[in-house]
Amino acid sequence: MSAQTPPTRQNYADAVGGAPVGVEASSPAWADAAASGHAGWAGHHSADEILRAAAEWVWMPGGSEHDEGDIHLARYPARFGGGVRGSRVRSCHDARTVVERAVERTREWGESTLTIWTSGSDAPGLDDELRRRGAEHIDTVAVFALPLDAAAISVPSGIESEIVRTMEQVRDVDAINVDVWQQQPLDAEGLQAELDDVRAALADGSGLRVLARIDGEAVSTAGCTIVGGFTRLWGAATLPHARGRGAYRAVLAERLRASGQRGAATALVKGRHATSAPILARCGFTHFGDERAFRLAV
């Protein structure tokens, strides 16, 4: 993992907790209120710019193989769960052809699982074709944005946030990620590489990692990457015993503050419906649509 990219596709979203806890079939209660803020975006990034930025936000872990064609495909290393992830569809072919080519490439790689993230900006849309093939809808994230000059996140007293700069802090980040995301801990070499990435991103202004502490204990972490005037918020993870106490708000507020200092104008985030999405809506973020994950056995 690095300071500029989240360690797994799961925490590509700002999810507060761990793995998905269910897929909502209908619009959640927070969605209408979060969508009502579109009119207040005059003078900021447009809805089209936000949706394009969200669609272009594709991550490939270190050691992955990737294929840029009708759909962006990435074969994940075993440490990140293996399998193939697809996203960002840009094709003149129909949905059946796009999915069939993705399936063929997955088989060529020797993998048996293909997970495709779809969005409203895909051309063509793949949802119906994936359902026709029996793909399982396993996750949904909401795309949110907020002008940084409108950010006002309240954080409960007793919670401290900090930017990650040291090896001790990197170890704290890794411990949280191992617990929340059920991933393997980094070895000494991996920890040093992470620290190098953290420091490089801070030096060139391209991103950062933050920690939140309660009574001195590191309980929450998250990162952000600054690209083209947007700060992409990712990788939020909070230890189970500390959830519901404001730790997510703390890492959210610190990233917004630090990103504004580094020239970003708009925060872009993908939050899970069941975890961070309601918090983001209450914090003033505007909902611009959803992205859905479908898993297909090939």
Residue 114 domain-assigned (yes or no): no
The reported pLDDT for the residue numbered 276 is 82
Domain contains 54: no
The answer to whether residue 276 is domain-embedded is yes
Tens of pLDDT, residues 259-298: 999 999 999 999 888 778 888 999 999 999 999 999 999 9
Q: Is residue 196 part of a domain?
A: yes
Which residue bears the tokens 């996203």? 87
Domain count, the chain: 1
What is the pLDDT, as a whole number, of residue 12?
56
**pLDDT at residue 26, rounded to an integer:** 46
Domain that holds residue 183: 10-21+147-291
- Residue spans of the chain under pLDDT 50: 1-11, 19-26
What are the helix (H) ranges across 156-216? 167-181, 188-204
In whole angstroms, what is the distance from residue 222 CA to residue 208 CA? 9
CATH code of the domain containing 242: 3.40.630.30
pLDDT given at position 56: 85
In angstroms, the CA 56 to CA 192 distance is 29
In a domain, residue 91? The reply is: no
Residue 139 covered by a domain: no
Q: What per-residue confidence (pLDDT) applies to 34?
A: 60
The residue written with tokens 């193989």 in the block is 65
Cis before residue 124, ω within 30 degrees of 0?
A: yes
Question: For residue range 77-94, what is the model confidence (pLDDT) as tens digits?
Answer: 987 889 999 999 999 999
269, part of any domain: yes
Q: Does some domain include residue 14? A: yes
Whole-number pLDDT of residue 43? 60
